[in-house]
Structure 1
Amino acid sequence: MEFKKIWQERSALVEAQLVKELNEANPLDKTLCESMKYSLMAGGKRLRPILVMAAADAVGAKGTDYLTTGCAMEMIHTYSLIHDDLPAMDDDDYRRGKLTNHKVYGAGMATLAGDALLTLAFEVMLRQQGVSSDTLVRVVREISTAAGPDGMVGGQALDMESEDKQISMETMKNIHLGKTGALFRAAIRSGAILGSASEEALAALTVYADNFGLAFQITDDILDVIGDESVIGKPVGSDEKNHKSTYVTLTSLEEAQKLAQDAVDTAIDALKIFGGEADFLRELVAYLVKRNK
């Protein structure tokens, strides 16, 4: 089956399951519920749940069995976007072509919606069926570490402290390994763990994940310079507006494009121990550097 068709079909599964999970939640406040739904159901690539499923497929399991964990990952990702857009952070007005959450519901309610999605994610994660309690605890630990001060939140803190400063490439890598890469790594490793991956397979997929995250972030930096606003769904030049160093500003547009391609090549090479069951992952990372949103 064609790569993009699999992506579309699985995205549709994610959309339906997210609605189901939201309907099972019972927020005390109606506006909070609306604010959560506004951002969670605003579209997007649904990459993190897709990666959970694809990693499980790669190790010989049935990826769609782990849709629940994938949806939890998407909730964590969405919470991070809501908070990232807040006036105290990047102060962005648009996300995915729509007004950001705080522009619709106010900064206070947007903050609470993010908090609610983060905590709901762990409730959802613990509903995952078909795995042992030990495996589930391992996955929860993997994802919680990636989302916290050692991962995404730590990367965001480094990012904030680096505004208006000339930073080194090493600091830049640490920012994005945390802020962007940690959740990709957790999604891929969690899918592999859920699918009972061998240590060799898990190690290979971890190399893939790290380079996937790097390629994704460099391409994001490139699109912030040369992207089409109507396609990417947010204003271009937001990094420059927020005085942030990027792979483009620390090197050049051409060098950044080369770094992205090198990361893609390394990611694909890491999958050489797998057969056709990892083809989706191969095609996905190659697609990253060609995307326009």
Structure 2
Amino acid sequence: MEAKDKAHLEQLAAEVETQLLRYVQVTPETKRQAQVVDAMRYSLEAGGKRIRPVLVLEFCRIFGGTKEQAMAAACALEMVHTFSLIHDDLPEMDNDDYRRGKPSCHKAFGHAVALQAGDALLTEAFRVIVDDPILEPEMKVELLHILTEATGAAGMVGGQIMDMANEKRSDVTLEEQEAMCAAKTGALIRAACLLGCTAGFASKEKIILADQYGAKLGLAFQIVDDILDVTSTSEVLGKPVGSDAEEGKTTFVTLLGLEEAQRRAAALTEEAEQILAQFPEHEFLMALTQELLRREK
């Protein structure tokens, strides 16, 4: 990624983080339950690539929208994503002690507080959109529909259930793995594209194309994650590596082999780029798409 694109990414990520922490802070109404707010902020401040909110902001921009139109949806989506990470790390799920180089929320605040912090972030996400002073009521309904559909049983939560069920099996097929990842990982990435397009008043035709782009990017993103669990280090990733193999989990690497998984991720990225080429002012998104394929964490 060129310096100007990297700088733009960092600027957008910083603006999102600033707004997230404005939304989530101790107030007179929450001073007695400040611990859960602290846990919410702790997880939001853990960093991360902020890819989902950046996609929201960029898709809105390329269709002539402003950051103000898209920021509530961008932050709401990141809150949902962070909620999912808090819950994923719990002992009943992935049982991870570290997230992005820091103790997981349940390690820092205890199991019960982490559970409630995740729940609170999920509900806060919807409040952020509902209370936005700029968006029209009709737009808020559209954005909420996209977000809820991507989050629930047909989306991210359902994908997590499929993933947990697959952990107990040794006969998971490639088709089943792709379906699971399309929900667990892909749903929120597709939602990011749809939220941005909707906030920017894109045409139905462009929204359909953005959804197709998001689906391909989401699958490529998960394949790269599986590859990094084999090829990276705990110091680089900020979390344990090799856990998939230790637990006998089915991944794209176990199904395809390392080299074929790398080829598959590259092919999906190329297909995503072909779709992006049909959008105006797509240069930054093109650079971001390529960077996600080459990322080291």
State the distance in 2 between where 1:53 and 1:189 align: 11
State the distance in 2 between where 1:101 and 1:266 align: 37
* SS of corresponding position for 2:95: coil
- The reply to whether residue 165 of structure 1 matches residue 188 of structure 2 is no
In the alignment, which residue of structure 1 is the partner of 2:193?
188
TM-score (norm 1): 0.96
In the alignment, which residue of structure 1 is the partner of 2:146?
142
Could you tell me how far 1:29 is from its partner in structure 2? 1.1
The answer to whether the Cα contact below 8 Å between 2:69 and 2:135 also exists between their aligned partners in 1 is: no
- The reply to whether residue 8 of structure 1 matches residue 10 of structure 2 is yes
Counting aligned pairs with the same residue, the percent is 43
- The reply to whether residue 263 of structure 1 matches residue 268 of structure 2 is yes
Residues 52-110 of structure 1, C-alpha deviations (whole Å, 9 max, x = no match): 00111222322453112111111110000000000000000110000111111111111
The answer to whether the Cα contact below 8 Å between 1:96 and 1:232 also exists between their aligned partners in 2 is: yes
In the alignment, which residue of structure 2 is the partner of 1:273?
278
Alignment equivalent of 2:94, drawn from 83, 90, 96: 90
Matches within 5 A, 1:35-50: 35-50=39-54
- The reply to whether residue 239 of structure 1 matches residue 241 of structure 2 is no
State the distance in 2 between where 1:151 and 1:164 align: 21
Q: 1:48 to 1:129 in 2, by over 3 A?
A: farther
- The one-letter code matched in structure 2 to 1:18 is L
The answer to whether the Cα contact below 8 Å between 1:11 and 1:50 also exists between their aligned partners in 2 is: yes
The answer to whether the Cα contact below 8 Å between 1:193 and 1:202 also exists between their aligned partners in 2 is: yes
The answer to whether the Cα contact below 8 Å between 2:26 and 2:37 also exists between their aligned partners in 1 is: no
Could you tell me how far 1:131 is from its partner in structure 2? 3.3
State the distance in 2 between where 1:249 and 1:98 align: 28
TM-score (norm 2): 0.95
* SS of corresponding position for 1:289: helix
Residues 225-277 of structure 1, C-alpha deviations (whole Å, 9 max, x = no match): 001211110011121233311100001000000010011011011123223x1
Of 130-139 and 39-48, the range deviating more from structure 2: 130-139
State the distance in 2 between where 1:126 and 1:256 align: 41
- The one-letter code matched in structure 1 to 2:51 is L
Divergent runs of 4+, >4 A: none
- The reply to whether residue 214 of structure 1 matches residue 202 of structure 2 is no
Of 53-62 and 41-50, the range deviating more from structure 2: 53-62
Give the gaps of 5 or more residues in structure 2. none
- How many residues in Structure 1 have an aligned counterpart in Structure 2? 292
The answer to whether the Cα contact below 8 Å between 1:57 and 1:278 also exists between their aligned partners in 2 is: no
Q: 1:64 to 1:240 in 2, by over 3 A?
A: farther
Q: 1:263 to 1:145 in 2, by over 3 A?
A: same
Residues 3-53 of structure 1, C-alpha deviations (whole Å, 9 max, x = no match): 111111111101110111012764341211211111111111111110100
The answer to whether the Cα contact below 8 Å between 1:53 and 1:191 also exists between their aligned partners in 2 is: yes
- The reply to whether residue 65 of structure 1 matches residue 66 of structure 2 is no
Could you tell me how far 1:135 is from its partner in structure 2? 1.9
**CA RMSD, Structure 1 to Structure 2 (Å):** 1.4
In the alignment, which residue of structure 1 is the partner of 2:256?
251
